[in-house]
Amino acid sequence: MNDNLAISSSKEILGSMDNCTKCGICYSFCPVANATKEFPGPKYTGPQTQRFRVIEDLEEFSPDLCNGCGVCTSVCPNDVAITDIITLAKSNLKNKNISFLQKILNRPNAVGKIGNYVPFLSNYILHSPVFRYIAEKLLGLDKNAPMPKFSGKKFERFAKKTHFSKDKPNIFYFSGCSVDHYDYKVGISALKILDILGYNVITETGLCCSLPMLSSGEFDSAKNRSKKIIATLKKKLNQVENIVSTSTSCSLTLRKKYLEYLDLMNQDTLKVSKSVKDVCEYILENHFDFLSKNINSINIKKVFYHGPCQLKSHSMGFPALEIMRLIPDLEIIISEAECCGIGGTYGYSKDKSYISNSIKKNLVEQINNAKPDLIICDSETCRWNIEKSTKIETVHPIQIILNSLDRNLTNL
């Protein structure tokens, strides 16, 4: 749970390299190392090379091949923060060169705003084979990368219609770039459920957590943006006690990454960190009894649930899965794959798409064998990747949970 979430400074993260015994467990579980021989593995790229980085600036390329899934850290028996060591290395590479494509991908809020001026035209262009071919040749954007569709301002318009009552407690919903610009149905479902549970939901569009910047090593730009986000959320905490998010990436960033990567070890950042919850985690902790009494069966009989990498890094289990198990007569097939391969923005690059596609084969094969009616996943980029790869509708767990509740309960 959030109170037990381990948070370290960058100094402590780098210091954890001394715990590495070179056992090789991280290598055997690493999806990237199993997909390409170009990547020497987490142990070598993380703690082993870090011992030399403290002595001199190295010209190296292996950190950029890491997709940041966090599997290596989760299986390490000695608590070495392997993924974080590699991410910190990306920001300090002597030969660091963040491509123009990556800089575009690092700014999803700006891309979303531009695309949503005329969403119909933007979607037509973005999904045009001609445009994708040109973008691959000029920018290195994989022509088969899973692109979402711009949704206009559907979430923002819906959020403005919400009603407030003096008798209800307030809660802040951090929608993030994906809901603001693409996955509006996820945000609307979250607002409806929080209304059913008795909250006044305060939200604000246009807030980007900057995780793509952090993941690719663009720390200077990320630090400026992160300070603004913390200042905004700190003000919100004058009205609410908790901040919830439907994006496992956003919530993990707000809870840990500003502190660990950027060393923003101040009272405001710590207060925001302790206030952030994954929406399903929050609901499970505070409203399990209500759900157990009000959840009904649905028309869907079989679903496939994939817990994304970012969710596993929260160290809170699978709260969405525990809630979905309350739905009567629902068969849930649980993914055995460690990673879907997309790695946030990792799989969008033509140079890395072959690694991403190799990693996802295991998951796609499991889904094809299971033949589910619906796929459930907590992470937006994972959902987009899985749906494109399987042609099966893939939704956030909050959507199926809302579907199981009596719609008469909501005022929205």
Q: Is the dihedral of CA 146, 205, 314, 37 positive or negative?
A: positive
Tell whether pTM > 0.85. Answer: yes
Cα–Cα distance for residue pair 122/115, rounded to 1 Å? 5
Give the range among 170-184, 197-211, 396-410 with minimum mean pLDDT: 396-410
Each residue of 378-396: pLDDT tens digit? 999 999 999 999 999 999 9
Q: Write down which residue in 66, 91, 116 finishes a domain.
A: 91
* Long-range contacts of 99-105, Cβ-Cβ distance < 8 Å, separation of 24 or more: 99/140, 99/349, 100/139, 101/139, 101/140, 101/141, 101/348, 101/349, 102/216, 102/218, 102/345, 102/349, 103/218, 104/139, 105/212, 105/216, 105/345, 105/348
Residue 350 covered by a domain = yes
Cα–Cα distance for residue pair 16/312, rounded to 1 Å? 20
- 3-state SS class at 171: strand
Each residue of 219-256: pLDDT tens digit? 999 999 999 999 999 999 999 999 999 999 999 999 99
Cα–Cα distance for residue pair 203/243, rounded to 1 Å? 10
Task: Over range 312-324, report the average pLDDT.
Answer: 92
Burial class for 75, CB neighbours closer than 10 Å (0-12, 13-18, 19+):
middle
Q: Write down which residue in 60, 91, 122 finishes a domain.
A: 91
Question: What's the token pair of residue 210?
Answer: 């900057």
The secondary structure element, H or E, covering residue 68 is: none
Give the list of residues 6+ apart from residue 178 with CB closer than 8 angstroms, or none: 108, 148, 186, 247, 380, 381
Cα–Cα distance for residue pair 125/149, rounded to 1 Å? 11
The conformation of residue 141, written as its DSSP 8-state character, comes to B
The secondary structure element, H or E, covering residue 170 is: strand 170-174
pLDDT, mean over the chain: 93
Residue 310 covered by a domain = yes
Residue 54 covered by a domain = yes
List the CATH number of the domain containing 355: 3.40.50.1860
Between 269 and 265, the more confident residue is 269
Confidence category of residue 2, pLDDT binned at 50, 70, 90: very low
Each residue of 104-151: pLDDT tens digit? 999 999 999 999 999 999 999 999 999 999 999 999 999 999 999 999
Q: Which amino acid, 346?
A: Y
Confidence category of residue 410, pLDDT binned at 50, 70, 90: low
Paired sense of beta strands 276-278 and 243-245, if any: parallel
Residue 21 covered by a domain = yes
Report the pLDDT value the prediction gives residue 1, as an integer from 0 to 100: 41
- Exposure on the CB side of residue 393, measured as CA atoms within 13 A: 11
Burial class for 162, CB neighbours closer than 10 Å (0-12, 13-18, 19+):
middle
Cβ-contact 301, 400 below 8 angstroms: no
Residue 12 covered by a domain = yes
The secondary structure element, H or E, covering residue 276 is: strand 276-278
Question: What's the token pair of residue 240?
Answer: 């609410």
Cβ-contact 395, 324 below 8 angstroms: no
Quote the distance between the C-alpha of residue 354 and its chain's center: 21
Cα–Cα distance for residue pair 316/2, rounded to 1 Å? 8
Report the pLDDT value the prediction gives residue 7, as an integer from 0 to 100: 64
Domains identified in the chain, total number: 2
Report the pLDDT value the prediction gives residue 165, as an integer from 0 to 100: 83
Burial class for 274, CB neighbours closer than 10 Å (0-12, 13-18, 19+):
middle
List the CATH number of the domain containing 86: 1.10.1060.10
Confidence category of residue 214, pLDDT binned at 50, 70, 90: very high
Task: Over range 29-54, report the average pLDDT.
Answer: 94
- Angle made by CA atoms 112, 312, 229, in degrees to the nearest 5: 40
Cβ-contact 44, 66 below 8 angstroms: no
Confidence category of residue 310, pLDDT binned at 50, 70, 90: confident
Q: Write down which residue in 91, 120, 144 finishes a domain.
A: 91
Task: Over range 344-366, report the average pLDDT.
Answer: 96
Domain around 397? 289-409
